[in-house]
Amino acid sequence: MPAFFVNKKHTFKILIEYIRKTYNNTHYCLLLYLSMKKILLTECSDEPGLIAKITSLCFEHKLNIVRNDEFVDNQAGRFFMRTELEGDFSKIDLITQLKAVLPLGSTLSLSHGDKAKVILLATKEAHCLGGVLLKSFENALNIEIQAVIANYNDLEPLVNGFNIPFHTVSHEGITRQQHDQKIVEVINLYQPDIVALAKYMRILTPEFVAQFSGRLINIHHSFLPAFIGAKPYHQAYQRGVKIIGATAHYVTNELDEGPIIEQDITHVSHVEDAVGLANLGRDIEKTVFCRAIQWAAEQRIFINGNKTVVFK
């Protein structure tokens, strides 16, 4: 079998042309066309008949709905829908036709379920970064890690073990704005879909956040909104909590207050001190972080004001 059959960087058109020339059989081409899958995301103001309008148009073009999830935020009057489709998309402009029948201002996208391109930002802690690296290596996440950027070089040996580019961008001797700009320059070399903060322990400037709005995912070692800011496990210990947790959220200019994507907890007792709570929390942080990246990579998340809609 030619190498490009297993190389996802080659286009669908190359595959079609190879089959046509090699087998001289349009039946193979038809089968390959029909096996094409895309993800349709729809967000608009709510009104009766939206699902019928969308699915009827899909049926009209002989598109098969493999999976469909929808949600209505009744308070905000917003409609959200994620649809997995398969069929021949070569002769239709589905987005244009949908906009003609959906409410004015509807937001729509139609894309392949290709691996999301991810940049990871880190400092010195290894558990969240290592968790994502390992899951990506095992193909357990629908992502391609393009590079890791850190303000220290402590984690470079870990990243090198996975044959992924590592960039050290030191913050020493420069302003926060200057440091963020240097990181932006490296990120822009890769054009990622997601920028994930794997325990990146620096507060980002508003300019940085604005440039990657809706693509910045952070992991916070607390069950937000409790214990915002630094040393949350110490705060939790002082408060005598009986559960600790972790929260993955989108980054905004309000510290640790962006829309929440995923959370989890574990029960604790009076026996654990602050160090013990931190040790227990690392596994939760790693798990929650990986889940959030996966939901984003699979296009399962809609940002809905200061909240999210996540179709798991």
Catalytic residue among 46, 256, 264, 283: 256
Joined tokens for residue 203 = 């507060």
∠139-144-146 over CA atoms, to 5°?
140
Cβ atoms of 90 and 32 closer than 8 Å: no
Please state the φ and ψ torsions of residue 251, each to the nearest 5 degrees: -90, 130
* Calpha distance 95→115 (Å, rounded): 22
The sign of the dihedral angle between the CA atoms of 76, 82, 88, 90 is positive
DSSP string, 93-123: -HHHHHHHHSPTT-EEEEE--PPEEEEEEES
Joined tokens for residue 56 = 């009827």
Gyration radius of the chain over CA positions: 22
286: exposed, middle or buried (Cβ count in 10 Å: 0-12, 13-18, 19+) = buried
The continuous run of DSSP H or E covering 307 comes out as strand 307-310
256 a catalytic residue: yes
Joined tokens for residue 151 = 């303000």
Catalytic residue numbers read 256
